[in-house]
Amino acid sequence: MKKVLLALSLFLIISTNNAQTNLIKNGGFETELLNWRGEDVGTISTFDKKTGKNSCSINQYVGAEWKAVDQIMSIPKNTVAIEFSGWIKAERIEKGQNEWNTGKFDIAFLNSGEKEIKNESIASVLGTTAWTFYKKTVLVSAGASKFRVMLALGQTNGTIFFDDLKAIALTQEQINKIQEEENAKKMATTDSESKTTELANSDFENGINSWRGNATVSTSIFKEGKSALVLNSNTFDWNGIDQIATIPDNVSSITVSGWLKSDAIKQGKDAWNNGLLNVAFTGNDNQKTGDDQNITFITGTTDWAFYTKTFPIPEGAKKYRIMLALGFATGTLYADAISVNFK
């Protein structure tokens, strides 16, 4: 038993360490351009840096050539997504005719033969900017076993500085945990504001009043009235809104319904990494009662459709929470005329 526990705790230590390991070697350029390719392109700057002694800069005044520094790394086992981040500063980067004519922090997923499967921009910078922090979580492409981080001037003139670059591997468990924490954060802030007993502004005629989260309404695309909710995301993060209301006494079931429409929703790794309408239940103490229940997942491009589902109310549940989200998926989700009925 002791051995098992020891092995288990070792495993936990190792996985915790993995969780925080920066996959990019020498991402702060403290050992100059060690581990990076393109030593003839990148310059170490000791004057202009974000952290430590050095940063890396790429510079050209004329010629607008492609100039890049890059590094290729292996993707650890069980990695579902990678969180990329870094600090960038720009000086007079010229806007060219093509959209790639910028200062760039790009990544690409590669197969075992280092052939590119998919690339993605983490940051794209023009003009003159102060040190700015960029962060983006990207789902690992199917078939990828390596990835490349590329820092570049994309056929444009100017100077770009990079420092403190990180790539953190995330497993499905860690992504789930991030979602749980997001949910918990929202739960923690509900006490004072959940005097509302009924779902309010469920037709989105008053913007996103009564809903929590960042979203807008569309007055050109809607199902009823004059406006509908729009959730839009181009990153595989959690983007959603929610609202908490009270469950009336002496009811045994809840029916949650609503109209949803989607535009180019791209599913993440799992079925729940999608556009979604969920309901969750909490007790008096704001503790979760049971798992989140899903009314529907929505993916791709779909016209307005009505979705409805009935659930038994879990024992001890006092409040319910309606969630509309792009849960680690990209694209656009529209929602209108959400309704809740009890029996």
Q: Does 163 bind Ca ion (CB under 5 A)?
A: yes
| DSSP secondary structure of 190-201 | -GGGTT--S--S
Using CA of residue 257, residue 258, residue 262, residue 266, what is the dihedral sign? Answer: negative
Q: CB of residue 10 vs Ca ion: minimum separation in angstroms?
A: 33
28 contributes a contact to Ca ion by CB under 5 A: yes
Dist CA 66 CA 154 (whole Å): 5
312 touches Ca ion (CB under 5 A): no
Q: How far is the CB of 259 from Ca ion (least distance, A)?
A: 9
- Smallest gap, in angstroms, from Cβ of residue 70 to Ca ion? 18
Query: In terms of CB distance, is 100 or 307 closer to Ca ion?
Result: 307
Cβ neighbours for 277, distance < 8 A, ≥ 6 positions apart: 256, 258, 260, 294, 295, 296, 298, 307, 322, 323, 324, 335, 338
Q: Work out which of 106, 203, 237, 242 binds Ca ion, going by CB under 5 A.
A: 203
Q: Is 225 in the site for Ca ion (CB under 5 A)?
A: yes
- The four Cα atoms 265, 267, 273, 275 give a dihedral, to 10 degrees, of 20
Q: Which stretch binds Ca ion (CB under 5 A): 104-112, 148-156, 225-233, 308-316?
A: 225-233
- Using CB under 5 A as the binding criterion, the count of chain residues that bind Ca ion stands at 12
Shortest Cβ 54–Ca ion spacing (Å): 5
Q: Please tell me whether residue 52 binds Ca ion under the rule CB under 5 A.
A: yes
Q: Phi first, then psi: what are they for 179, rounded to 5°? A: -65, -45
Nearer to Ca ion, 237 or 336 (CB): 336
Torsion of CA 26, 30, 35, 40, to 10 degrees: 140
Q: Closer to Ca ion at the Cβ: 64 or 221? A: 221
Q: In this chain, which of 13, 224, 300, 310 binds Ca ion, going by CB under 5 A?
A: 224
Pick 203 or 242: Cβ nearer Ca ion: 203
For Ca ion, the closer CB: 35 or 119 = 35
Across the beta sheet with 116-125, the strand order is: 67-74, 146-153, 103-110, 116-125
Site for Ca ion, rule CB under 5 A: 28, 49, 51-52, 54, 163, 203-204, 222, 224-225, 336
